[in-house]
Amino acid sequence: MKIQFFGGSSFLVEGKSAKIAFDPGDKKLGKVDITTSSTGSEVSLEAKKLLTLPGEYEISGVLVRGFHTHGDTNTVFKIVLDDIVIAHFGNLPGMPTAEFFDRLGENVDIALLTLRDDFDAKSAKDFLEKVDPRMVIFGGNAEIYPRIVELFNAKVLPESSISPSRSSLPTDTTEFVILSV
């Protein structure tokens, strides 16, 4: 599996059977199987399926669950690809309700988390204690990254991509990563 960061909340995840573009905006990523938009806005990207609303889907062998966090302003998409559970949290405007965490469940291997001025490092810390993923890849406002490094001891990688596998993910701790754009 390969996860690539394109800035903001835009990530591309390539597995053995499918390519998923999370919040790609106007990025030119080539043909993908699934495109998601956490804000519900239209995306101009060639894909088999564009997901903007909550629901359960199976596309190109990928299981996808989408659900709102705050009314209909943000949709989280949770996928299972190559036996790894990835959750793209979109643009969280704040801490979700307890009901959201119940729907999310406990089995998130990799969290793709976007930080902004209204969802900063402190908010991320509280949020991630509830999610408890095996790896977190941060996106969003680069001005917040120094605080992320300090608070989480995050690794800043010079590359824009990482290739995790089920066996390379930590089992009893969480690894924190910031990818370059």
Mean pLDDT throughout 92-98?
Answer: 89
- pLDDT above 90 covers a percentage of the chain that reads 65
What is the arithmetic mean of pLDDT over 40-44? 72
Distance separating alpha carbons of residues 43 and 35, to the nearest angstrom: 8
Q: Which amino acid is at 130?
A: K
Considering the entire predicted model, what is its pTM? 0.94
In this prediction, residue 122 carries a pLDDT of 86
Provide the token pair at 170: 């930590």
- Alpha helices, DSSP H, located in 27-167: 98-104, 121-131, 145-152
Domain residues of the chain, as ranges? Answer: 2-179
**2-179, what's its fold?**
Metallo-beta-lactamase; Chain A (3.60.15)
Measured distance CA(67)–CA(83) in Å, rounded = 21
- What is the per-residue pLDDT for 131? 95
The chain-wide mean pLDDT, for the chain, equals: 90
Residue 105 pLDDT exceeds 80: yes
**Average pLDDT of the segment spanning 136-149:** 90
